[in-house]
Amino acid sequence: MPQKIQQFFLLLFLLFFLSCSTVNFQNPEIADPKESFKQSTLIYKTEDFSVIKGYDKNLSIEWEAVITEFHDTPVGADTVKLKAAPENIKITDSGSVLSCDPADSFENNDTLAVLTGSMHNPLRYSEGREQQVIGFLRINGKTVSQPDNKHYALGIKENCSPEVLSPSEQHHWKDDALCGTYPILLDGTPLAMVPVRDALSAAGWSKDGNKLIFLVIKGYKNHGYSYKEAGMLIKLLGAWNALAMDGGSSAVLMWKDKNGTKKFPSSALNRKLPDFLIFTKDQNK
């Protein structure tokens, strides 16, 4: 083979090798939900709920989950309920919702944990400002926001058990519901409906319906977990179905111990929201 042809093919090989090396160098991060779950830590536990904290070393991603089993186990858990909040939601004449502070839910001693709920626009940081909920919202038997025929919703039955509602199912739903984005886990299968990594909040539940999970993954644009990675993680936490609720800096988890209210991420902005999910317990039972 002439020397010039050899040099030409050698140059092509070097260019190919460098391009592959560049791609690998720019995207070396591979999420590891399984290892992150194995290395996770139980940081708080009562008879009603437990709090687990984890860290994905590959991506430098933190996550936290509140898990409760509210039917039959453990003792007292049958009084724990999943609810849409706030119950006294304020709606303007234009159909917008007035924002409120999720932390205010803990003024009621029955509240155990809070997970940020539906997507909304515009973003608000002060209380009492108008926000438009994106998608289906129904609280206390009243439809606040109509389905948008795009996003999925978390339906909450009269017995407080959850259900994933497709866009077509929402028009006939009569119980409470909060709009989410898309499922991250259906019938035990993680779904890759949104491949971009970001912070997100998600609600999941076990196959028998006895365990419910609030999960928040800390992150920002292009840094966090994709929907499939989040689905893999929440399945390891015990879920069979799960719905992503919100993302970005609105994705916040709050829970209460004997010393007061805890927030994850602790650095999260104190953003006011139109709605959220809560775990409550009737302290009189």
Q: Which pLDDT tens digit goes with each residue over 41-64?
A: 999 999 889 999 999 998 899 999
Computed over every residue of the chain, the mean pLDDT equals 85
| Separation of alpha carbons 27 and 20, rounded Å | 11
Whether the predicted pLDDT of 226 surpasses 60: yes
**Between residues 36 and 10, which one has the greater pLDDT?**
36
pLDDT at position 183 is: 97
Radius of gyration of the chain (CA): 22
Q: Is residue 104 within 8 Å of 270, Cβ to Cβ?
A: no
DSSP class of residue 142? E
Average pLDDT value for residue range 230-252: 94
Is residue 92 domain-shared with residue 186, that is, in the same domain?
yes
95 and 9 belong to one structural domain: no
In terms of domains, do 123 and 2 share one? Answer: no
Q: For residue 190, which of 156, 153, 236, 148 has the smallest C-alpha distance?
A: 236
Domain shared by 201 and 169, yes or no: yes
Stretch (H or E) spanning 165: strand 162-165
Checking if the pLDDT of 231 tops 90, the result is yes
When pLDDT is cut at 50, 70 and 90, the band that residue 22 belongs to is: very low
99-137 pLDDT tens trace: 888 889 998 888 999 998 888 887 666 788 888 889 999
Rounded average pLDDT over 188-217: 93
Residues 101, 114 within the same domain: yes
CA distance 134 to 117: 11
Pair 10, 65 in one domain: no
Buried b (16+ CB within 10 A) or exposed e, 62-76: bbbbbbbbbbeeeee
Do 119 and 99 reside in the same domain of the chain?
yes
Q: List the one residue out of 167, 207, 170, 169 whose CA is nearest residue 185.
A: 207
Q: CA–CA separation, 64 vs 200, rounded Å?
A: 11
For residue 196, what are the domain limits?
A: 31-281
The percent of the chain in helix, strand and coil, each rounded to the nearest 5, is: 20, 40, 40
Which residues are registered as beta bridge partners of 142?
A: 139
Structure tokens at 43: 């940081």
Stretch 217-227: mean pLDDT, rounded? 89
**Of residues 7 and 168, more confidently modeled:** 168
Dihedrals phi, psi of 7, to nearest 5 degrees? -65, -35
pLDDT digits (tens, 9 = 90+) for 80-90: 789 998 888 88
Residues 215, 155 contacting (CB under 8 angstroms): no
Residue 28 has a pLDDT of 46
16/85 same-domain check: no
Look up residue 258 and give its DSSP letter.
T
**Which pLDDT score, from 0 to 100, does residue 79 have?**
64
Q: Are 55 and 224 in contact (CB under 8 A)?
A: no
pLDDT the model gives residue 36 = 95
With bands split at pLDDT 50, 70 and 90, how would you rate the model's confidence at 70?
low
Residue 139 has pLDDT above 70, yes or no: yes
Alpha-carbon span 196 to 10, nearest angstrom: 37
- Residue 33: pLDDT band (50, 70, 90) is very high
Residue 11 and residue 81 share a domain? no
What's the pLDDT at 13? 57
pLDDT digits (tens, 9 = 90+) for 143-168: 999 999 999 999 999 888 899 999 99
Q: How far apart are the first and last CA of the chain?
A: 88
Q: Which residue has the tokens 């491949």?
A: 195
Q: Look at the block and give the residue holding tokens 């602790």.
A: 266
Same domain as 83, residue 15: no
Do 91 and 174 lie in a common domain? yes
Query: pTM of the entire structure?
Result: 0.85
Examine the pLDDT at 26 and tell me if it is beyond 50: no
Looking at the structure of the chain, the number of domains it has is 2
H-helix or E-strand containing 68?
strand 61-69
Cβ-contact 203, 165 below 8 angstroms: no
**In a shared domain, residues 36 and 21:** no
Between the CA atoms of 253, 182, 203 and 177, what dihedral angle is there, to the nearest 10 degrees? 100
